[in-house]
């Protein structure tokens, strides 16, 4: 009786170990703790920044139906004052947009089309990021900088591979280059060495697409920006027309007439 | 005992096959993810966006470059079978000939549209077709609507 029980347990544990071995779970050896520590240190440092300006010179690949990747350039300039003010200017081949947040309302203004939309906004940048993402399908420009700094997010939990690549210079500044893997995404980051562990360059490679489209950002920081309060609020220029923002959640089952957010 | 292991191996294999990566390799029509922390493999629903603002259909030799506007997968009711690209192309090509389908979206307007303000909303009237501009994500899109009254 006991023998049989023992045997069953033995089979069970052996089988479990087989299952465990064949499951493609990340092995700890794929994750260099030095790289993870650098990422955490950067996040902790970003959290200490109350006010900052960061400019991203960036590229993004779009993929044509035939699988060919086409690169486009853009510049994003963000001024953030935690917890409740943010201004982002987005310049690209087909856009010149401003995203303005003053702690009460959020406005998106497309200068080329001269359209704007204003919606009520939550009281903090962190909540605004969630609302824009979930309600309007808008990714906050340079959102990673805020999410890495967010104490609530465990942003490293998805990482399945981490490598310390080595020293590398960005715009003449000494950095350390790291490479990470997670589901659907390979990414590299260059973190400034010294007392200011800021991200200085990012490359994201989307691995769910055969064309492996890339997004790159080269970041320039100003930790003592000058600005006034008017920078975060919106005064419609002459001729600008108010339009709506399509809401993601209410759009789901109705493909014909998108319900649009009240733009009052 | 051998048999048990064999069975378990089979089960494991089946589990592995069925529980493998939950997202298929996609080919074309997408865009690079632009964030590490907010990217979602399911959100690559594309809204057709022509970088070329030239609305003249006959001279327009643009390719359809798709910009991912970071729309959730629920956006088009699951994303499997609705192709805004095809709709947009059809509408763009025929807008001046026949009335466009109400509810369809285009990213560029046909030529000779007039701005009409009605009931506090902005419309673009292009021949007999009315468009309502809106932001979808950060892209400006025009939805074909019934003539406002």
Q: ω before A83 within 30° of 0 (cis)?
A: yes
Yes or no: say if A204 and A185 are a contact pair by the CB < 8 Å rule: yes
Q: Which two tokens stand for residue A33?
A: 């703790």
Residue-wise pLDDT tens digits, B20-49: 333 344 455 689 999 998 865 334 334 344
The CA distance from B42 to the nearest CA of chain A, in Å, is 10
Q: In angstroms, how far apart are the furthest CA atoms of chain B?
A: 80
**pLDDT surpassing 80 at residue A114:** yes
Query: How many inter-chain contacts (A to B, CB under 8 Å) are there?
Result: 212
Tens digit of pLDDT for each residue in A190-218? 999 999 999 999 999 999 999 999 999 99
B4: its two tokens: 């048990």
C-beta of residue A18 within 8 angstroms of C-beta of residue B8 = yes
Nearest to A203 by CA among A103, A71, A77: A71
Distance, in Å, from the CA atom of A7 to the CA atom of A25, rounded to the nearest integer, reads 28
Give pLDDT tens digits for A14-67. 455 544 455 555 556 799 999 999 999 999 999 999 999 999 999 999 999 999
Tokens representing B99 are 């009335």
% of chain A surpassing 90 pLDDT:
77
| A244: nearest CA partner in chain B | B134
Of A139, A148, A252, the CB nearest to B34: A139
pLDDT at position A172 is 96
Tokens of A89: 């200017």
Cβ of A184 within 8 Å of Cβ of B23? The answer is: yes
DSSP letter string over chain B? -HHHHHHHHHHHHHHHHHTS-SSPPB-SS-B----SSS--GGGBEEEE--S-----TTT-----PEEEEEE-GGGGTTSSS--HHHHHHHHHHHTTTSPPPTT-EESSPPSS-EEEEETTEEEEEETTEEEEEEEETTEEEEEEEPPP-
Percent pLDDT > 70 in chain A is 82
In eight-state DSSP terms, residue A237 is: P
Interchain CB distance below 8 Å, B28 and A64? yes
What's the CA gap between A59 and A74, in Å, rounded? 6
**With contacts defined as CB-CB under 8 Å, which chain A residues touch B122?**
115, 241-243
Among the listed residues B81, B93, B85, the one whose alpha carbon sits nearest the alpha carbon of residue B46: B85
In three-state secondary structure terms, A112 is coil
What's the predicted TM-score (pTM) here?
Answer: 0.72
Q: Which of A23, A183, A213 sits opposite B31 (nearest CB)?
A: A213
Residue B133 at interface with chain A, using a CB cutoff of 8 Å: yes
Find where tokens 């299952």 sit. Answer: A19
CA distance A168 to chain B (A): 21
**Among candidate residues A234, A226, A224, the one with its CA nearest the CA of residue A101:** A234
d(CA B144, CA B55): 16
Q: Are strands A244-245 and B129-136 parallel, antiparallel or unpaired?
A: parallel
What does residue B101 show for φ and ψ, rounded to 5 degrees? Answer: -70, 125
ipTM computed for the complex? 0.79
DSSP A168: E
Stated length of chain A: 264
In order along chain B (149 residues), what is the average pLDDT of each group of 10 residues? 47 39 50 84 39 33 38 29 36 47 87 86 90 90 88
Residues in chain A closer than 8 A to B5 (CB atoms): 11, 14-15, 18
pLDDT at position A153, please? Answer: 58
């Amino acid at each position: 009786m006991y023998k049989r029980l023992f045997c069953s347990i033995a089979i069970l544990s052996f089988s479990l170990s087989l299952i465990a071995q064949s499951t493609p779970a990340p092995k700890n050896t794929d994750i260099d703790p030095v790289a993870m520590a650098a990422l955490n240190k950067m996040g902790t440092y970003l959290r200490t920044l109350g006010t900052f300006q960061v400019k991203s010179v960036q590229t993004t690949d779009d993929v044509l139906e035939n699988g060919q990747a086409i690169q486009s350039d853009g510049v994003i300039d963000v001024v953030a004052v935690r917890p409740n003010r943010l201004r982002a200017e987005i310049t690209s081949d087909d856009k010149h947009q401003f995203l303005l947040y003053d702690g009460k309302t959020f406005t998106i203004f497309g200068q080329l089309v001269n359209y704007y939309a204003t919606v009520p906004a939550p009281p903090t940048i962190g909540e605004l990021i969630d609302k824009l993402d979930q309600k309007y399908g808008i990714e906050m420009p340079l959102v990673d900088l805020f999410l890495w700094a967010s104490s609530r997010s465990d942003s490293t939990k998805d990482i399945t591979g981490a490598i310390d690549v080595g020293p590398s210079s960005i715009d003449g500044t000494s950095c350390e280059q790291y490479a990470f893997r997670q589901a659907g995404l390979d990414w590299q980051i260059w973190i400034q060495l010294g007392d200011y562990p800021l991200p200085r360059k990012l490359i994201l490679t989307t691995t769910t697409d055969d064309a492996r489209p890339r997004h790159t950002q080269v970041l320039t920081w100003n930790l003592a920006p000058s600005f006034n309060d008017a920078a975060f609020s919106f005064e419609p220029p002459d001729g600008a027309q108010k339009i709506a923002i399509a809401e993601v959640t209410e759009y789901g089952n109705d493909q014909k007439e998108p319900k649009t957010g009240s733009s009052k | 005992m051998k048999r048990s292991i064999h069975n378990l191996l089979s089960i494991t294999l089946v589990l592995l096959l069925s529980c493998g990566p939950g997202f298929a390799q996609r080919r074309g029509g997408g865009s690079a993810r632009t964030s590490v922390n907010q990217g979602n493999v399911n959100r690559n629903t594309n809204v057709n966006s022509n970088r070329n603002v030239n609305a003249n259909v006959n001279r327009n030799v643009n390719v359809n470059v798709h910009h991912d506007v970071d729309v959730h997968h629920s956006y088009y009711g699951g994303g499997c079978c609705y192709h805004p690209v095809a709709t947009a192309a059809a509408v763009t090509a025929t807008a001046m000939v026949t009335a466009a389908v109400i509810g369809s979206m285009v990213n560029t307007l046909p030529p000779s549209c007039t701005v009409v303000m009605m009931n506090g909303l902005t419309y673009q009237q292009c021949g007999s077709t009315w468009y309502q501009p809106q932001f979808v994500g950060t892209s400006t899109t025009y939805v074909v609507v019934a003539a406002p009254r």
